[in-house]
Amino acid sequence: MMLFRLCFLAIILCFSSCFVKKSTLEQADKPLFRDPIFDGAADPVVIFNTKTQKWLMFYTNRRANASDLDGVTWVHGTRIGIAESINGAKWNYLDTANIKYRDADYTHWAPEVIAHEGLYHMYLTYVPGIFKDWQHPRYILHLTSANLLDWKFESKLQLAKDKVIDACVFPLPEGGWRMWYNNENDGKSVYYADSKDLYNWTDKGKALATRGEGPKVFKWKDKYWMVVDMWRGLGIYASTDLITWKKQKENILEKPGTGVDDGVIGGHPDVVVRGDKAYVFYFTHPGKTPENKGKDTYEQRRSSIQVAELKYENGIITCDRNAPVYLNLNLNKP
């Protein structure tokens, strides 16, 4: 009888511990995540795995710790990394995405991952090779998965040009979907395309005439927002119809922070909205400080993923990157 009581108590304590982890806030790590393989994590996108009940972070990986790679070769030649978390505050490396579309030499960049009717869709920037410079084709692939690990090739999207990157996909209020992406052949401006089914896309032309990449669209505080990496922090645009966008005056994540690996501009984000709260996941190159301008060593190449909470007041989005983030993505569901 005593042994039964002890076992029962152990089960109760274990259940209680799991419940606490899933129902309470936890202070997020600073930095949030570093890739243990190449130390080059960038361009994060966060999604919930309904089967495992865990959060996954997909990210571009760069070969920051590799030696004897000329030019920007180190930014090429890698697959998409995946990290895993119970609540979004603590992350561990999981694997690389098994994307079944690979040439002999290839590069996977900047994934967008969404869920729809029991299936996951990825829109992946694909570079058909490993190159020393930026002057080469890149395009966006559509892939699908039932488990977020193994990805089936569906199509190469026919968009504005043959040098397009950084897809973002968002549902339209009247039905269907809209994709925003970076058209590098048109001054790195943001273009868009529409689809009724996530498989067939019609290009619609320019969405923003400004230079920028990594657009991310989300709905929060009864408005649509687009965050764009402008290489001087993140530009913030507001819209009521997903067509006309008005930029707010101040960028976020432009001024360096004081936290570990956060003393430089923030780049290429994802935004996760949970109820009335919104969190921006972004990456930094900690070694790219003014005093290191012109240097190209491991310290300038390595990158870290960070998270900060967005704030909204009088129609303006702000972000205090130095404030501790207490986070649980399992709470306050939209």
Give the pLDDT of the chain (334 residues) as one tens digit per residue.
Answer: 544 444 444 444 444 444 434 569 999 999 999 999 999 999 999 999 999 999 999 999 999 999 999 999 999 999 999 999 999 999 999 999 999 888 889 999 999 999 999 999 999 999 999 999 999 999 999 999 999 999 999 999 999 988 999 999 999 999 999 999 999 999 999 999 999 999 999 999 999 999 999 999 999 999 999 999 999 999 999 999 999 999 999 999 999 999 999 999 999 999 999 999 999 999 999 999 999 999 999 999 999 999 999 999 999 999 999 999 999 999 877 6
Backbone angles phi, psi at 6, to 5 degrees: -65, -40
Of 107, 124, 222, 120, nearest in space to 168 by CA: 124
Is 11 within the bounds of a domain? no
Domain count, the chain: 1
The pLDDT assigned to 332 comes to 78
The answer as to whether 23 is a domain residue is: no
> Where residue 59 sits, what CATH number does that domain have?
2.115.10.20
Tokens 């649980």 sit at which residue? Answer: 328
The answer to whether position 61 is within a domain reads: yes
- By the 10 Å C-beta count (0-12 exposed, 13-18 middle, 19+ buried), 220 is classed as middle
CB 160 within 8 A of CB 120: no
At 299, which helix (H) or strand (E)? helix 298-301
Asked, for residue 290, whether it belongs to a domain, the answer is yes
Domain that residue 264 falls in:
43-327
The pLDDT, as a whole number, for residue 213 is 96
Task: Please answer whether residues 267 and 282 qualify as being in contact, where contact means their C-beta atoms are separated by less than 8 angstroms.
Answer: yes
What is the CB neighbour count within 10 angstroms for residue 16?
Answer: 10
Task: State the residue for tokens 């694909």.
Answer: 126
Residue pair 39/50 in contact by the 8 Å Cβ criterion? no
DSSP state of 118: T
Inside any domain, residue 27 = no
Give the separation between CA 65 and CA 38, rounded to whole angstroms: 6
Q: Does residue 81 form part of some domain?
A: yes
